[in-house]
Chain A
């Protein structure tokens, strides 16, 4: 008997999976990435980078999540998953769509930044920052105002033929904590929980999703700083590079790709083509409305370069 396979498109890739991934958009065509169940060895033979639950080498990546699964990513085109006994599929998918896909995209030599992005006047605008800095909430709020979503949390960027960075659309879902979802006027009961064990939800953004890659024009890095007023600082070249390194998603995964010089070339191209600013605020003092007003003004301003 032939097992059913699922085919999706996400991060610009046609993906064939052994199991359903409802977060992705269904697609067809010749798959270039395969997600399969299989046996995963507990260690890599010669890891260049070794963390507490991950190991990375050139074209190889391993992540072990106790009680959930072991994930093995190879050559930028295959993800093998060995679920633990009693693992829940929701739990497997959360980490598959996070760290594991980040490793795959690093292997594909994309630049992977930590942020959520939208389309404004045909250009990609990225809100980057550490976990909890408010990227998803802000992107969700802007989508509700009519801007199209490109990515949430994981942002894959490639340089086009002429070296201009483009944001590749991820998949049409946003992750929100209960308090943020409520702030955005969502009814929690109607949202899909990320995991049964967390008060965090996936907001469906299929109707507000951009399916095409777009050139990137601006990055806003969100900083939450106690006691700070809401302010924007436009960065100059060296500081741009520093922030791009800091906001690279799982920098350690990437290092093992032997790709440090490749990564530097990419961030230099981004720094050259893209305006980068830091938005600092104290989340406890600034309302969502205040930051939205500032952002809408900012994202619609064309800068002289």
Chain B
């Protein structure tokens, strides 16, 4: 029976790593999967898929008209899937004006990948080629979106990300679809245990050896080496390399005290919930 397993995350939180891991796990050749041909099932904001399956040119529709059809699009994909489809999504878990959730619960569950927002800020700033201050502002904006400027065409559909905290909370507190939360830091520090749980949640039947092998093939250095050799088509223009450092706690080398306190001020509640801050108000990682 097919279903959608959403790979949901705020940007720069480990989504690509998880997709590379799953691709290697699902690959039957035993060879390293090319990062430019991952085996997972695309992204929720894919415009071409929307146009093909609805029969309408999304470029002639308003963003709200498009959103109104997205729940049916995802139900259609879930219904048509004969296997588990792993679909990346950066949209927050939001509701349409008529009360329907953007992401329907029919044959669907989600793995939510979360990362210390202090590290996200640094990584996101490199990714979008914008200053740390501007990135921290974007992460604090309640109505932050991707692909929403109305005067031009966007390759992807609009994605409402909301603020970093709201993004996290929208997914992990939703009561409509089952969510399994994984932290980037645990993917790094306890890979076998963390990835194994995600695999079990997805319903894939794999043994430890297969998981270890896929982890090895999707290790950060390997992904980085692939990018250096042949490029990565998901790398935004003007960014030096997509796979940059891939470490935890890198924010300590990049953020000023003032920048750290701005992040904490906005996101402290969610950070506590996710144990990025301990009882004594120390930042972990």
Contact = CB atoms under 8 A, between A and B. Distances in A.
A114 B162 CA distance: 35
B170 interface: no
Nearest to A198: B62
A63 B55 contact: yes
Question: Which label, helix, strand, loop or mixed, suits the secondary structure of the A interface?
Answer: loop
B128 to A, nearest CB: 13
B63 to A, nearest CB: 10
A284 B237 contact: yes
A98 B236 CA distance: 31
B205 interface: no
B33 to A, nearest CB: 20
Given A227-B235, A284-B238, A178 B152 contact: yes
Contacts of B62: 195, 197-198
Interface string A112-134: 00000000000000000011100
B235 A226 contact: yes
A271 B74 CA distance: 36
A68 to B, nearest CB: 9
B233 interface: yes
B151 A53 contact: no
Interface string B50-68: 0111111111101001001
A211 B76 CA distance: 42
A285 interface: yes
Contacts of B53: 51-52
B72 interface: yes
A198 B59 CA distance: 10
A200 B60 contact: yes
A224 B69 CA distance: 26
A198 B60 contact: yes
Nearest to A282: B237
A65 interface: yes
A88 interface: no
A199 B59 contact: no
B233 A225 contact: yes
Range class of the A interface residue count: 35 or more
B183 to A, nearest CB: 29
A262 interface: no
Nearest to B231: A227
A132 B73 CA distance: 21
Nearest to A66: B68
A251 B76 CA distance: 18
A224 B68 CA distance: 28
A271 B153 CA distance: 30
Interface in A41-79: 51-54, 63, 65-67
A63 B61 CA distance: 14
A53 B55 contact: yes
A52 B154 CA distance: 22
Nearest to A246: B48
A177 interface: yes
Interface string B222-254: 000000000101111110000000000000000
Contacts of B151: 177-179, 199
Nearest to A285: B237
B55 A177 contact: no
Nearest to B153: A132
A95 interface: yes
Interface in A205-243: 224-227
Given A131-B47, A194-B60, A179 B152 contact: yes
A98 to B, nearest CB: 5
17 contacts: A52-B73, A54-B54, A63-B56, A95-B57, A99-B55, A99-B56, A131-B48, A131-B153, A177-B152, A178-B150, A179-B152, A199-B151, A225-B233, A226-B233, A226-B237, A250-B52, A284-B238
Interface of B: 47-48, 51-60, 62, 65, 68-69, 72-73, 76, 150-155, 231, 233-238
Given A51-B52, A95-B56, A178-B152, 8 more contacts: A65-B56, A131-B48, A131-B153, A132-B47, A200-B60, A226-B233, A226-B234, A227-B235
